[in-house]
Amino acid sequence: MKKQGMSDKTFGMINGVFISIIVALIIYPLIFVISASISDPNAVNLGRMWLWPVDITFEGYKLVFQNDDIWMGYKNTIIYTSVGTLIHLFILLPCAYALSRKELMGTKFILWFILFTMLFNGGLIPTYLVIQKLGMLDTMWAIVIPNVVGAWSVLVARAFFQASIPDQLVEASKIDGASDLTIFMRVVLPLSLPIIAVMALFHAVSLWNQYFSALIYLSDRTMYPLQIILREILVVNEMETGGGLATEALATQIQRAGLIKYAIIIVSSLPLLIVYPFLQRFFVQGVLIGSVKE
């Protein structure tokens, strides 16, 4: 027993050290970017700022928010993320629940059909032609509709329903006279908050960071999401840095570009960092349950 206790303590110490290193590797870049975004660029470039802010300045954020397009990009991205996440859940949850029921005929065929989409797709040009023929170019739907539900999401949600919704509960509801829709709305969904939070967060993050689809399908500037606007600001400042400026002016422009770069990272990531703590409890539970198949 003494030997077993020592082994447990040793394992606990090694595990604690390993986890501490992983946490430090994750947290340090975040703290560094936040500190660099409000530090004097000279201190950052010379390596004097390695963790905490040095000679605090908010010039980078002022330069970013001076651009009126930032607010337009925020508005568009919030709309795309909200609408897209709602449509995602509206399609995903009934589909995954139906596939989790044993009485559904052709479940294996449908699952193989869904898995097929994980291995093959039409490619960029056919997808663009489909979007064009459907009249979705330069509209919100070009960002929201493609990839609205992925095979991975369906499989994870289905595993959650299989593991968390007992057959006896569904049968008891049917005996009480509840229809399938009533069971789904009043019994299944209230018990599925963890997987709803997980799927909503995953899809919302994907839409919030949406860049490539907007670059391909949107040419109307008023429809640009935040990521495209931030890219433009960064590219413009880098182009100005590469211009034929005097040495002192060039040095100032390089510092300004560095400030803007770090400020842009924070501006684009802050909303998600604010939302995540409120969903963390459901998120962890949903990932653990949804990742295990009976």
What pLDDT digit, counting tens, does each position of 201-259 carry?
A: 889 988 988 888 888 999 888 898 888 887 877 776 666 555 554 455 555 666 667 77
**Cα distances (Å, whole numbers) of residue 261 to 57, 254, 273:** 14, 11, 18
Query: What is the predicted pLDDT for the residue at 209?
Result: 86
80 — pLDDT class (breaks 50, 70, 90): very high
Per cent of the chain over pLDDT 90 is 10
Query: What is the predicted pLDDT for the residue at 5?
Result: 63
**Structure token pair of residue 263:** 């400020």
Average pLDDT over residues 131-160: 89
Query: What is the predicted pLDDT for the residue at 282?
Result: 65
Residue 287, pLDDT above cutoff 70:
no
What is the rounded distance in angstroms from the CA atom of residue 48 to the CA atom of residue 54?
8
- 146 and 213 Cβ atoms separated by less than 8 Å: yes
What is the rounded distance in angstroms from the CA atom of residue 55 to the CA atom of residue 49?
9
Q: At what angle do helices 247-290 and 2-37 cross, to 10 degrees?
A: 140
Average pLDDT over residues 63-69: 78
Query: What is the predicted pLDDT for the residue at 133?
Result: 92
**Cα distances (Å, whole numbers) of residue 9 to 1, 3, 13:** 12, 10, 6
- 228 and 59 Cβ atoms separated by less than 8 Å: no
What is the rounded distance in angstroms from the CA atom of residue 96 to the CA atom of residue 51?
45
Say which residue, 253 or 138, is predicted with more confidence.
138
Max mean pLDDT among 60-74, 230-244, 278-292 falls in 60-74
Least confident residue range of 106-110, 179-183, 248-252, 267-271? 248-252
Query: What is the predicted pLDDT for the residue at 237?
Result: 65
Average pLDDT over residues 107-136: 86
pLDDT per position as a tens digit, 180-206: 888 888 888 888 888 888 888 889 988
Query: What is the predicted pLDDT for the residue at 173?
Result: 85
Query: What is the predicted pLDDT for the residue at 269?
Result: 80
Query: What is the predicted pLDDT for the residue at 83?
Result: 94
Query: What is the predicted pLDDT for the residue at 293?
Result: 46
Residue 261, pLDDT above cutoff 90:
no
Query: What is the predicted pLDDT for the residue at 66?
Result: 79
Q: Which of 224, 279, 180, 277 shows the shortest CA–CA distance to 77?
A: 224
